[in-house]
Amino acid sequence: MSQLKILVLSLSNIIRLGIQQSLSDLNIGAKVYLSSEIDSAKDIIEKLKISLIIVDENIASANEFEKLTTNPDLKILYLSFRSADIFEKMHININQKELGEKLREYINPGKDIKNQEGEKGLSKRENEVVRMLSLGAGNKEIAQKLHLSLHTVLTHRKNIIRKLGIKTTSGITVYAILNGIITIEEATI
């Protein structure tokens, strides 16, 4: 079987990068391509033989997007800011575990595949640090608000990086949105 090729199509750079990081963390062996424009997406789909597209519903309606390709084997997963309806959609607040399950279901329809990535649960305090980082707080501000030493905040950050494999603040922000630690509205403030 050839390598799975996934195209993430969204107007939002943070959503594209967040989904790319989540897919990387899932270790499903997929090559992930990113696009913010329908025209470039059409070229990528045709030239690279994309297997699955994760598309933000705000970039095009489902009917418009389905007309862009003639490949009947192409699977399209719509990223929705509303709950799922007629089309196969993922709600924007889907967490990484649910994303993995949804992708495995798409890759191997009809098979009951167990979650293989294991739990990488953060402690309550680490979740508080993730929340504050996602809202733009610096290390010193986090230390003050949570009544911690700067060294403890840095230790929490190291543990978060180790557990999640996410090294950037923007990646942590996407993780926080996808896991319901903050809302997308809070992230844009």
Q: Which of 108, 109, 65 is nearest to 87 (CA)?
A: 65
CB of 157 closer than 8 Å to CB of 166? no
Cα separation of the two ends of the chain: 45
Q: What is the pLDDT of residue 137?
A: 93
- What 8-state DSSP symbol labels residue 72? T
CATH 3.40.1050.10 fits 5-107, yes or no: no
Q: What is the pLDDT of residue 17?
A: 87
Cα(47)–Cα(69) distance, integer angstroms: 12
What residues of the chain score a pLDDT lower than 70? 1-2, 60-70, 80-120, 188-189
Q: What is the pLDDT of residue 103?
A: 64
CB of 126 closer than 8 Å to CB of 164? no
CB of 142 closer than 8 Å to CB of 148? yes
Taking only the tens place, the pLDDT of each residue in 28-37 is 778 999 998 8
Q: Which of 15, 75, 71 is nearest to 46 (CA)?
A: 71
CA dist list (Å): 103 to 23, 30, 64, 139:
9, 11, 23, 35
- From-to residues of CATH 3.40.50.2300 in the chain: 5-107
- From-to residues of CATH 1.10.10.10 in the chain: 124-187
Q: What is the pLDDT of residue 104?
A: 62
pTM greater than 0.75: no
CATH topology of domain 124-187: Arc Repressor Mutant, subunit A (1.10.10)
Q: What is the pLDDT of residue 121?
A: 78
Cα(12)–Cα(18) distance, integer angstroms: 10
